[in-house]
Structures are given as structure tokens and as C-alpha cells.
Amino acid sequence: MNTLVMKRAGLAGLAGLLPGPRRGSWVLLGLGVALLASLIWSSGQGAFGLPLRELPAVLAAAFTTYWWPGAERSAAELVFFNIRLPRLVLAVAAGAGLGVAGALMQGLFRNPLADPGLIGVSSGAALAAAFAIVLGSLWWPEVPLALGTWPLMLMAFFGGLVVTALIYTLSLGDGGTRVGIMLLAGIAINALAGAGIGLLSYLATDEQLRNLQFWMLGSLGGALWEAVLVVGLIALATVALAQRLARPLNALALGEAQAVMLGVPVERLKLACILLTALVVGAVTATTGIIGFIGLVAPHIVRLLAGPDHRWVLPGSALLGAVLVLLADAWARTMIAPAELPLGIITALVGVPFFLLLLRSAHARTL
Amino acid sequence: MSQTVHLRATAAAVDAAAAPALTRRACTLALVALATGAAAASARSPRLITVGGSLTEAVFALGAEAQLVGTDTTSLYPVAAQATPKVGYMRQLSAEGLLALRPDVVLALAGSGPPLVLQQLRSARVQVELVERRHEWDDVRRTVQAAGRATGRSAAAQDLLRRLEQEWTRVRAQVQAYRGPTPRALFIMAHGGSPLVAGGQTAAHAMLTLAGARNVVAGFNGFRPLTAESMAAAAPDVIVTTTQSLQAVGGAEGFWRRPELALTPAWQRRHSGAALWHQDALALLGFGPRLAQVLEALHRGLVAA
């Protein structure tokens, strides 16, 4: 209990130290620095003995082989550029995407417990992935569909979009979308997708079951440069576009009627939030499987530090999400090396207790 | 690496021969260097990671275990294999983790992955060899031959294969010479939770069939839980399981306590000791070098029932 009180004083004190009106920009700056630091630190982490101090040499060598392609590439160079670097970029893209999507959802539902899973993106992607893994062998018998294969990624991406569209359509009423109905429809459709996944895993062979299980636990092991770049661009675009929704979301926080009176096109705002979330979470989930709790935890922490203004919460959540996924993945890659832990296990294992602690210590006031 | 040493040594030797001014000592040194360089080039045997228990077994059977720098979690036999660095479960490999062990060859069962990781290994200049498994004698042939190629011991692999083949022919003849009634068998796997029975297209089904028994639940493919009624309808005379399953439920008594089994002919004869036959999972289902030996034991167990 004592530590809880101290934690609370610590966080509140930290936020209080920052100058009032510009607190948000200080928090963003701090998170930016944290992202840079964790990016540099985790590029030196990994099972392959390639510590940080050897990186400059590897980069220089890569520069040489790039301009003089005849030269032999060293093992360290191959590992860094083909395996570790795409993984770091994917971690940043996935974390930023999940973080900003979480902030959008919490803003849209005006509920700090909302997360991107609520509008069915993750469960839709999971159902489609299960479908591809278990029944895909009927169409592509020669390709075992596992994490990081293209048909699986495309299926998961469109699965997420279709289920989100379904939930959105279900929530449409006479006067536009009703957020309460959307919430309930989301829960119901998620349960339905869960049943579908259960049925498919019953039909699955041992091999398919394992592939499905590892997909559901999430991993950045599927970091192929092509996929990484696509996800990276989508995440970047989402973070940029989301910034334009910050002020309307601030108005929405006052209530839907008030937002309308302030001249916010509420229906368009909702649709934009849902579209962006579905797009970015769909793309991330399709490449990495399910990574939980980033979308829930990142916006919370940013709100504690910077206050509820979406102009800070949205980009802050993207930065913090990226930091969290980078650190969690560095752990996943090294903890039981040469084997590797599924990332989703770590984000849940570390994310949940931390989240509960936050709830107990600091959120009693703001919830 | 050793190639460069070799070349440099050769160059030094040529220089030494061409320049009479050099002392005899320098010349000898260069020749010694040449000899060691050449020896290193031929003695430097490939570093190997095996993914799949039967492949690891084959590498040990060839006496090439010193070349193993890592194995997967299914590599449990021989016991020494458990002491090698573990690269995790065969379908959840980590590219960087494997590369950290600096292998020259990764020898894996088909289905190991994810496929992307294998691709990354190949792009890092590691040779990835996949071995098909179809639950037949040829699995052993492919396994031993692949292990021979990967370790650079193809001749030893041929010898081993010849011996295994003789043993296999003998055991097959023994199974085919059996003229008694076909045993009605059921394979059960029970690693905690409700037990699963083996239908068609499983290693267990293939083993039962090869041993001259009839799998009483071949109507579906893969492993499924079976209700008490279907179990009674299937009416197995003998039940085959893995030693690990038996341990998980606390021995034979615990095993027979499963309610599903109470209506089977095997259950009624449970005290005879012949109605339940068990074997280590990797030996029984691995289709590795021990195949013939295990099949002989299984056949004896089944016809004794």
C-alpha cells in the first residue's frame, strides 16, 4: 500500500514538475527521446553476438558493400540487415499503430477501457487467419500457412476490415451510429469470432493447431522487409492523419450533442476513427499476430503524464506504444535465446500488472 | 577462412622455394603452415543444428554428435542430446537465435518453421535441409541419408542404412508371417486433459498398420477426443499409448480409470497386462533409426494381446 502511495506521488509529482501549458510538448519530447534511446539500445540486443559497440563497424561495412556490391557481406551484416533491423522497424510501426489506434478508440468511445479489439479488427483478423491456416491447405496444399506468409497476411488484413465493417453497419441507426450499440455489437461479434476460431482449431491438424496458436500469441518473427515497409507506411500515415482528428475528439469528449453544437461533423469523425483504426490494426495484426495491451496501456500512461488533450495523447500514444513494443520484443528475443518467446505473452505478462498498478494508484481520480 | 590460410601458406611456400636467400628454417615454417592449412580445410566439419528428434538420433547414430551445436525441444534421445543448446519448438524457431549458434547446416523435418525464418537462414548463407516425413520406411532412409550429407559422413550413413535395412526386412517378414487374428488396436495420447485417439494419417496409425494391427478408429484423420459410446463401438482389444501419457495419468491404474475405456474389450482384460502397451513417444512415433526395433516390439506386444 505504501509503495502505491509513493508511486502515485511519484507520477503526479513528475507531471507536476513540468511547466503547465507546455506540458504536452515536454512529454512528447521526452517520449521521442525515449523512443530513440530504446531503438539504439535494442539494436544491440539479440541472440547473435552483435553488441552495440560493433554496430558502427557493421554499418560502415554495409555502406561499403552497398556502393561496391562485389564485396563479401559478413555474417554480422547479414544478421543485422536481414533479421534485426526489419524487426526493429516493425516493432516501432506496430507499437505506434497499436498505440495511436488505442487512443483513437478511447477518444471515440469516451471510455478509457476501450481498445482496438472492441470494433472487431483483431478478432476478425484472427478468424480469417485461423480460416487460412486450417482450410488454406485445400487451396494451397503445398504452402504451409504460418506467420509471415503472404496469403495469411492478406486474409487476416481483410478479415479485420470485414468484421469491423459488419460491426459498424450493425450500429447504424436513424440518427447515425450509436456508440453504445457498437460496443455491444462488438462484444457479440467478438464472441462469435471466438466460436469460429474454436471450431477451426477443432478441425485443425496438430501442425495447423500449432501454427494457429503461435499466430494468436503474436510475434515480430515475421518481419520481412516488404511487409515491414507496408506496415510502416500505414502506421506513419495513420499517426499523421490521426493528428487532424485531435481537436474534434477533444470536442467529442464533452459529449456528442455538445460536439455537434461546436460544429464537429460527428458522424464523419466516428467513421474516420474507425477506418484509421481498422486499417492500422488490421495491417499490424496481419504481420505480427495478436499483440495485446499496447493499445490499452499506452494512451493511459500518456494521459497520466500529459493530460487528456488529444493533441498530445494521440502522438504520445504512438511514441510510447513504439517504445513498449521495442522493449518487449528485445526481451522476447533474448530471454530464452537461442529460442524465442511469443511477444503477446510478454506484453500481457508485463502490461497487465503494470496497468492494474496504474489503475489503483493514479486513476482513481480521473476514471 | 581456412581456405585463405591455405592460399597464403602456398604463396609463402612458393616464395620460399623461389628465393634461395631465405633460410631453410623459414622454408620449413612455410611448409608446416601449408600442411596445417590443408589439414584444417579438410578436418573442419560443418556445424549442425537439427530440428526434429529423429534427425538428432540419426546424427548421434553416425557418431557425429560433436558437430551438433543446437537441437530442438523434440530431440530427447539419446540423453546426451538433451544437453545441447535448445533452439525451441520446431514450428517456432528464431532466425537470430539459430544464427547465434553459427551453424553451417540446419537439418529440419518438413513443417519446421515459420517458413520465413528458414528463408532468413538461407539468406544468411546457412544451408537449410528439409526432410519429408510420410510415416513409412523411406522416412528412415531419407533421415539417415540427410544426416550423412549434412555431417559429411555419407559413407558411414550408407553403412548404417544397410544395417537398418536388413533389420527392417527381417522385422517385416516376421510381421507378414504372422497368421493369427488381426489385433484390433487403438492408440491413445493423454498428456493431461481428455485423451485423444489417433485416426488416419497419423504416425500412430501408420505404426499400428505396419505392425499388422487394425486401427479401430481410422474413420477420421488426425487426433480427436472420443466419447465413451464411440469408444465402446470401436471395441479395441488392445490399447497402445506413449510412456509419457502413462506418466501423465499416474501409471497403468490411472490410465484404466478413464471412464471412456470402461466399455471396451481391452478394459475387461486390463489385469492380464497385455491389453495396454506403451513406448516412449519419440521411439514409437518418430520414424527414426530405431523404427525396425520398435516395430518388432510393438508387433510382439499386439499379437500377445
Inter-chain residue contact A82 with B124, CB threshold 8 Å: yes
- Cα–Cα distance between A111 and A164 in angstroms, integer? 19
Mutate to test the interface with B, among A43, A48, A50, A145 (most CBs of B within 10 A): A48
More confident residue, B91 or A107: A107
Looking at residue A193, its pLDDT comes to 94
Q: Give me the pLDDT at residue B301, please.
A: 93
Amino acid, res. B5: V
Percent of chain A past pLDDT 70, that is, above it, reads 89
Question: B24 or A311: whose pLDDT is higher?
Answer: A311
The answer, for A144 touching chain B at a CB cutoff of 8 Å, is yes
Minimal Cα distance from B200: which residue of A?
A205
A337 inside 8 A of chain B by CB = yes
Contact flag B94-A84 (C-beta cutoff 8 Å): no
pLDDT at A174: 79
Average pLDDT over residues B99-125: 90
Residue B293 has pLDDT above 90, yes or no: yes
Which runs of consecutive H residues, i.e. helices, occur in B101-250?
115-123, 137-151, 154-177, 203-210, 228-234, 243-248
Which residues of chain B neighbour A221 with C-beta distances below 8 Å? 92, 94-95, 114, 116-117
Give me the mean pLDDT over the B147-170 stretch.
Answer: 95
pLDDT value at residue A145: 63
Position B28 scores a pLDDT of 45
* The dihedral formed by the CA atoms of B107, B113, B115 and B118, expressed in degrees to the nearest 10: -40
User: pLDDT tens, B214-249?
Assistant: 999 988 888 888 888 888 899 999 999 999 999 888
Rounded mean pLDDT of A76-96? 92
B65 neighbors B59 (Cβ within 8 angstroms): yes
DSSP result, A148-187: T-HHHHHHHHHHHHHHHHHHHHHTEETTEE-HHHHHHHHH
In this complex, which of B73, B115, B120 lies closest to A146 when CB atoms are compared? B115
Task: Please report the pLDDT score of residue A312 as a whole number.
Answer: 95
d(CA B192, CA B195): 7
Pairing between strand B68-71 and B48-51? parallel
pLDDT at site A326: 96
Is residue A207 a contact partner of residue B113, using CB atoms and an 8 Å limit? no
CA-based nearest residue to A99, from A305, A319, A251, A254: A319
Q: Residue A22 and residue B193: Cα distance in Å, rounded?
A: 58
Q: Decide if B5 touches A, using CB distance below 8 A.
A: no
Over range B188-200, report the average pLDDT.
84
Residue B4 scores a pLDDT above 50: no
A227: distance to nearest CA of chain B, Å?
Answer: 12
**Measured between CA atoms, how close is B159 to chain A, in angstroms?**
33
What pLDDT does residue A327 have? 95
What are the chain A neighbours of B86 within 8 Å (beta carbons)?
338-339
Q: Is B116 on the interface with A (CB under 8 A)?
A: yes
State yes or no: pLDDT of B26 exceeds 50.
no
* CB–CB contact B96 A336 (8 Å): no
Distance from CA of B202 to the nearest CA of A (A): 10
Q: Which of A19-23, B73-77, B170-174 has the lowest mean pLDDT?
A: A19-23
pLDDT digits (tens, 9 = 90+) for A332-360: 999 988 888 999 999 988 888 877 887 77
Is residue B39 predicted with pLDDT exceeding 50? no
List chain B residues with CB under 8 Å of A82: 120, 123-124
Residue of chain B with shortest Cα separation from A335: B97
Q: Look over chain B and give the mean of its residue pLDDT values, rounded to a whole number.
A: 85
pLDDT of residue A362: 61
Give φ, ψ of B286 to 5 degrees: -80, -20
CB proximity B101 to A under 8 Å: yes
Under an 8 A CB cutoff, do B123 and A222 touch? no
Render pLDDT for B51-96 as a digit per residue (tens, 0 to 9): 999 999 999 999 999 999 999 999 999 999 999 999 999 988 999 9
With beta carbons less than 8 A apart as the criterion, state whether B95 and A221 touch.
Answer: yes
From start to end of B56-146, where are the E strands? Answer: 68-71, 105-109, 127-131
Contacts of A149 in chain B (CB under 8 A): 114-116
| Grid coordinates belonging to B150 | 549434412
- Lowest model confidence (mean pLDDT) among A156-170, A303-317, B256-270: B256-270
